[in-house]
Amino acid sequence: MLKKLLLGATCTLLIVACAQSPTGRRQIMLFNDTELSKMGAQTFESMKAETPIAKDVKTNNYVKCVANSLLAVTPDSMRAQSWEIVVFDSDQVNAFALPGGKIGVYTGLLKVAENQDQLAAVVGHEIGHVIAGHSNERLSTNQALQTVLSLGDAGMKAYGVQYQKELMTAFGLGAQLGVALPFSRAHESESDIIGLDLMAKAGFEPRQAVNLWQNMAAAGGGGTPEFMSTHPLPETRIKDLREKMPAAMKTYNERKTASALPKCNR
C-alpha cells in the first residue's frame, strides 16, 4: 500500500513536469507570466517601502551600467521589457531579479564584488533565474508537493495505515530533502552557468566569476551540509564554473577583439 501511494505521488509530479529549462532540465511550470509579473511587482514595491534606497548617483549609475549591459544580451522577450533597477542601502551581500523586470542590488554586495566583472557575475546569475523561470518552478513545485502530500494523507486515512502521523512527517522531510532542496541547488547551479554566458556575451571577464565566489566564501562561513542547503557549496560552484570557462572565454575574447567591452566606473 505504501509503495502504491509513493508511486502515485511520483506520477503526479511527472505529469506536471511539462517544460524545459535553457540547459535542458525538465521543469514543473503551473503559473503564467502575467501572474508572476504581478507577484514580482508587488514584492518589489514592498521591498522599496521597507528598505532604504541608495541615493548616491555614482553608485546607482555603476550598478545600472552593469545590469543594462547584461540585459542587452538577454533573450528578445526580456530585452523588450522595461526594467527597473534599484540599489538598496543595506549591508546585505546580495542582489536579486524578479519576474516583471525588477532588479535589486544591495550596497553590501559592492564591498565583496570588487569590480564590474564580479558584480556582473552576481547580477548575471540573478537574471539567469528569471530567464530560466525558476520563480515559476519553485512555486509550482511547492504546490505540487502539497497536493501529493495531501493525497498521501487522504489515502492513508482511507486505508487505515498505521503510524499515519509519523509516516506523513517522514514523507514531508523526504520531499524537502529529495525534491525541494535539490531543485533549489539545481536552480543555483543553472543560474551560475546562464550568468557566466551572459557575462561573456556582454564583455565582462568570465574568470572573475570564480574570484567572486572565492570572495563570497571568504566573507561567509557556514557549515550546513550541501545536501541540506538550498545553495551549492562555493567549491562546487567554482568547479562547475571552471568546467564551462573555456566556452565563456572564447565568447569573451571575440567581444574583446571587437573592442566591445563595457566600461562601468565605480
Which residues are designated catalytic?
126
| CA pair distance 98, 135, nearest whole angstrom | 8
Provide the CA 218 distance to its chain's centre, in angstroms.
21
Three cell numbers written together for 141: 513545485
Q: Are 16 and 28 in contact (CB under 8 A)?
A: yes
φ and ψ at residue 261, rounded to 5 degrees: -95, 140
Other C-beta atoms lying within 10 Å of the C-beta of residue 225? 7
| CA pair distance 261, 264, nearest whole angstrom | 10
Q: Are 138 and 191 in contact (CB under 8 A)?
A: no
| CA pair distance 135, 17, nearest whole angstrom | 15
Q: Are 83 and 67 in contact (CB under 8 A)?
A: yes
3-class DSSP state of 88: strand
